């Protein structure tokens, strides 16, 4: 006869709130992995005859540079969003039904990024593709901030999470929003829309600026700021 005295406890441990949180994280990781892999589909091997010369091979490969750059940028963009998702959920220890719809929306935007990346790779200096790409990044960054706030706020956040660590994680998300929004504005207004993608490099600078402002507020709050 099977002993079922502990089956209720085991079932609760396996299928309770913590189990739901783990499933959400595992599913999210899978979507991120698939999206980042789909980027490589746009990298096509040049079609050349057997008699092609070295010069023809070099020229054909040179035509693939925009697609390779798009793949590289897209890879690290999706990787950065996964990193933000990972950092936020380090603090999450409890399940909340509010997590699911917010996370699904974020994954929806991540899954669509390969399309916008391919579009801007093909038409890198055309305003509409660049605006759509940068605008979608901004949309994704806003959804990312929403998920991060839910994962680092009660009732989801763990009791041992440090406020300073949570604030630092959130600032990274805000910096991404600011950088993507800056790129969108440049894409809309610049004579060379391709400059918008280059402006995404502003994200680390926004991060440093937000960190500096946070330290200044902390000094003021503790009364250590100069009069």
pLDDT in tens, 195-215: 998 899 999 999 999 999 999
- C-beta neighbour count of 131 within 10 angstroms: 19
**3-state SS record for 197-215:** HHHHHHHHHHHHHHHHHHH
Using an 8 Å Cβ cutoff, are 205 and 218 in contact? no
Q: Is 6 part of a structural domain of the chain? A: no
Query: What is the per-residue pLDDT for 69?
Result: 87
Q: Is 145 part of a structural domain of the chain? A: yes
Q: Is 49 part of a structural domain of the chain? A: no
Between CA 152 and CA 227 the distance in angstroms is 34
Q: Is 22 part of a structural domain of the chain? A: yes
Closest to 28 measured CA to CA, from 99, 128, 96: 99
Query: What is the per-residue pLDDT for 47?
Result: 85
Is 146 buried (19+), middle (13-18) or exposed (0-12) by CB count in 10 A? middle
Q: Is 1 part of a structural domain of the chain? A: no
Q: Is 132 part of a structural domain of the chain? A: yes
**Below-70 pLDDT ranges, the chain:** 1-17, 223-227
Helix (H), strand (E) at residue 116? helix 99-122
What range defines the domain where residue 65 resides? 13-44+54-222
Q: Is 7 part of a structural domain of the chain? A: no
Query: What is the per-residue pLDDT for 10?
Result: 44
- At 10-21, the pLDDT tens digits run 434 445 557 899
Beta bridge partners of 92: 157
Q: What is the DSSP string of 27-79?
A: HHHHHHHHHHHHGGGG-------TT--HHHHHHHHHHTHHHHHHHHHHHHHHH
Between CA 221 and CA 120 the distance in angstroms is 45
Between CA 70 and CA 64 the distance in angstroms is 10
The total number of structural domains in the chain stands at 1
Buried-exposed string 148-158: b where 16+ CB fall within 10 A, e elsewhere: bbbbbbeebbe
């Amino acid at each position: 006869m099977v002993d079922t005295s502990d089956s209720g406890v085991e079932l609760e441990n396996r299928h309770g709130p913590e189990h739901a949180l783990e499933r959400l994280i595992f599913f999210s990781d899978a979507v991120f992995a698939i999206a980042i892999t789909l980027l490589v589909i746009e990298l096509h091997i040049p079609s050349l005859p057997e008699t092609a010369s070295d010069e023809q091979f070099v020229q054909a490969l040179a035509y693939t540079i925009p697609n390779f750059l798009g793949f590289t940028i897209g890879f690290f963009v999706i990787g950065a969003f996964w990193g933000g998702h990972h950092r936020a959920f380090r603090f999450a220890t409890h399940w909340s039904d509010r997590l699911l719809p917010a996370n699904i929306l974020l994954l929806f935007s991540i899954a669509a990024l390969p399309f916008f990346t391919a579009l801007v790779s093909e038409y890198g200096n055309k305003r509409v593709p660049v605006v759509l790409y940068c605008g979608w990044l901004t949309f994704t960054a806003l959804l990312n901030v929403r998920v991060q706030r839910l994962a680092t706020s009660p009732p989801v956040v763990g009791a041992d999470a440090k406020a300073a660590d949570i604030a630092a994680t959130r600032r990274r998300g805000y910096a991404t929003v600011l950088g993507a929004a800056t790129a969108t504005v440049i894409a809309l207004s610049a004579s060379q829309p391709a400059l918008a993608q280059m402006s995404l490099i502003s994200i680390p600078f926004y991060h440093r600026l937000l960190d500096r402002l946070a330290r200044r507020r902390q000094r003021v709050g503790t009364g250590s700021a100069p009069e």
